[in-house]
């Protein structure tokens, strides 16, 4: 049976790991949360007590972690994958982190003949559960080809965008578009509401036209129902936009609208909405107007 390591069993990693062992892989899973390991074991995975145990058993290791510092800690710092993995091991980092950090990690792993590709995803928890994530990859063609059978299980599409770091650059572009789209939908639905027009009818009327989008279809019903159960949390989107703004600064790319939406997300965080779905941007407009969309 094919083996794969999986480190990071959070809101996205847990269903992704489950999809891999449902597809026939022997999944060696580790997380700092022991309850998450137990859940994976109960569902059919192999729980591990350490990074060393994962790296010792597998020559393909997926990491799905919150941000750049966590990936560096797990992969290249003392006690990380770099200390225990065999030469030729392929690390598939599916976390969403800063592109320059992906390059930094790749340079360190190369010293030990360990390979890495960055392969962040889009789709949130629902698509992680049903295995239809969009996967954006940076790295070498042969490494992408090796990881492709895993991507075929985890997602509906996987595109090799370019060299290491390109996957995360693509993800940042994705997150900019998603954040701005949610803000635009929130603003437009509030305009309809304040004008005395039913936002539900407005949504039905425009969703099939040029304004329609996957974001609109996924997030508008949540806004209109007042349902902000997280598929992708406000705090995680803050993290992604912070990486986007940092990358924009490094590369000299203006991100004016991104900076504005970042302030909205920061205000939501300050209001205790950090763990809400990012569709809670609508709540910012509700607070400004004193009007509920639901």
Which residues of 181-272 form beta strands (DSSP E)?
none
The span from the CA of 237 to the CA of 123, in Å, is 13
- Residues 6 or more apart from 41 whose CB is under 8 A from it? 47
- Residues 6 or more apart from 76 whose CB is under 8 A from it? 82, 105, 108, 109
Does the active-site annotation cover 171?
yes
Q: Which of 16, 97, 52 is nearest to 105 (CA)?
A: 97
Q: Which of 280, 140, 154, 156 is nearest to 222 (CA)?
A: 280
- Catalytic residue among 14, 171, 233, 283, which? 171
How do beta strands 133-138 and 121-122 pair? Answer: antiparallel
Instruction: Write out 76-93 in H/E/C secondary structure.
Output: CCCCCHHHHCCCCCEEEE
Q: Which residues participate in catalysis according to the annotation?
A: 171
């Amino acid at each position: 049976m094919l083996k794969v390591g999986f480190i990071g069993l959070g809101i996205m990693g847990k269903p992704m790991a489950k999809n891999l062992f449902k597809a026939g892989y022997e999944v060696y899973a580790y997380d700092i949360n022991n309850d998450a390991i137990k859940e994976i074991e109960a569902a059919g995975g192999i729980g591990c007590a350490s990074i060393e145990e994962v790296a010792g058993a597998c020559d393909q290791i997926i990491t799905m972690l919150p941000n750049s510092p966590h990936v560096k800690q797990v992969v290249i710092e003392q006690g990380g994958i770099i200390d225990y993995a065999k030469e030729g091991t392929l690390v598939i980092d599916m976390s969403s982190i800063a592109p320059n950090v992906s390059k930094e990690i790749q340079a360190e792993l190369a010293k030990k003949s360990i390979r890495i590709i960055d392969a962040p995803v889009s789709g949130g928890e629902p698509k992680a559960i049903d295995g239809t994530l969009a996967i954006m990859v940076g790295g070498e063609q042969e490494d992408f080809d090796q990881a492709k059978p895993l991507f075929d299980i985890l997602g509906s599409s996987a595109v090799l965008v370019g060299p290491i770091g390109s996957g995360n650059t693509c993800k940042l572009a994705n997150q900019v578009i998603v954040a701005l789209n949610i803000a635009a939908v929130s603003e437009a639905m509030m305009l309809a509401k304040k004008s005395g027009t039913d936002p539900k009818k407005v949504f039905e009327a425009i969703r099939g036209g040029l304004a329609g989008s996957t974001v609109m279809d996924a997030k508008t019903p949540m806004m209109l129902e007042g349902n902000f159960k997280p598929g992708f949390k406000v705090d995680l989107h803050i993290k992604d936009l912070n990486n986007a703004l940092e990358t924009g600064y490094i590369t000299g790319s203006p991100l004016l609208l991104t900076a504005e939406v970042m302030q909205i997300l920061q205000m939501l965080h300050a209001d205790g909405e950090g763990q809400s779905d990012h569709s809670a941007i609508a709540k910012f407009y509700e607070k400004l107007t004193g009007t509920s969309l639901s």
